[in-house]
């Protein structure tokens, strides 16, 4: 699963990185984004250009009677995504990229205690996570636009922390995923695989990240009290300070 992520990068820099064409939306840096909060999403405008927009995390299907189950749809498993009622229409028509500087996951020890870890690209570049978005008309007539993060099985490195991870898409497939290039559903499903293990940096961080109210750059600092498996003993990327 993916239950928390961070995005501290300047929106203007993200707009350049993803080559979006609309006015850049405002977005305050956040080191602890949780479900039902707003974050930035890259979508393809009907006229073809990429747009960077602010949407709420937690999918509300267009046919939903209310938005109370949005938190349950913060993630969409890659397997079955083309058939499940909550996701199939969005998979066909409303695919997006969710920019992240990284995400958090918790590793359970033998004594049932949990240690938080931050996961980022080893290069320090943004993650382009596969997502889906939806528009839902609220009772007052306004539109609520929401997104979900697609997850897949973990690669061998991420599996040391958790058995699943977000799908991170490389730049060469962005156009196909966003619909700018023709692609069959089968081809799109083949993109929803774990990224190569060597592309990730994973390090232990303070468990206070588990509290939504905690939100500051110090969350990304290595927890000196943690003893991660040797395979996870990466030097944090520059964004960790």
User: For residues 153 and 110, what is the distance between their CA atoms, to the nearest angstrom?
Assistant: 22
Other C-beta atoms closer than 10 Å to the C-beta of 241 total: 10
Which residue, chain included where needed, has tokens 């999403």?
A: 41
**Cβ neighbours of residue 57 under 8 Å, at least 6 residues apart?**
33, 34, 35, 36, 37, 38, 39, 74, 146, 147, 148, 149
Active site residues: 2, 105
């Amino acid at each position: 699963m993916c239950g928390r992520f961070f995005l501290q990068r300047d929106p203007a820099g993200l707009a350049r990185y993803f080559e979006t064409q609309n006015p850049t939306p405002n977005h305050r840096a956040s080191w602890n984004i949780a479900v039902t909060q707003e974050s930035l999403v890259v979508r393809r405008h009907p006229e073809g250009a990429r747009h960077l927009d602010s949407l709420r995390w937690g999918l509300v299907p267009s046919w939903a009677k209310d938005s109370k189950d949005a938190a349950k749809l913060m993630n969409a498993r890659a397997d079955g995504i083309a058939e499940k009622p909550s996701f199939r229409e969005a998979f066909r028509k409303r695919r997006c990229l969710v920019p992240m500087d990284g995400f958090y996951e918790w590793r359970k020890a033998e004594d049932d205690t949990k240690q938080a870890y931050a996961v980022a690209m080893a290069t320090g570049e943004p993650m382009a996570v596969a997502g889906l978005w939806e528009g839902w008309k609220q009772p007052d007539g306004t539109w609520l636009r929401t997104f979900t993060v697609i997850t897949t099985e973990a690669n061998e490195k991420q599996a040391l922390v958790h058995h699943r991870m977000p799908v991170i898409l490389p730049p060469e497939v962005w156009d196909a995923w966003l619909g700018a290039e023709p692609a069959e559903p089968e081809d799109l499903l083949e993109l929803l695989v774990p990224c190569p293990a060597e592309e990730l940096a994973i390090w232990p961080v303070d468990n206070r990240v588990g509290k939504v109210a905690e939100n500051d750059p110090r969350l990304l600092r290595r927890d000196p009290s943690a003893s991660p498996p040797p395979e996870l003993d990466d030097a944090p990327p520059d964004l960790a300070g």
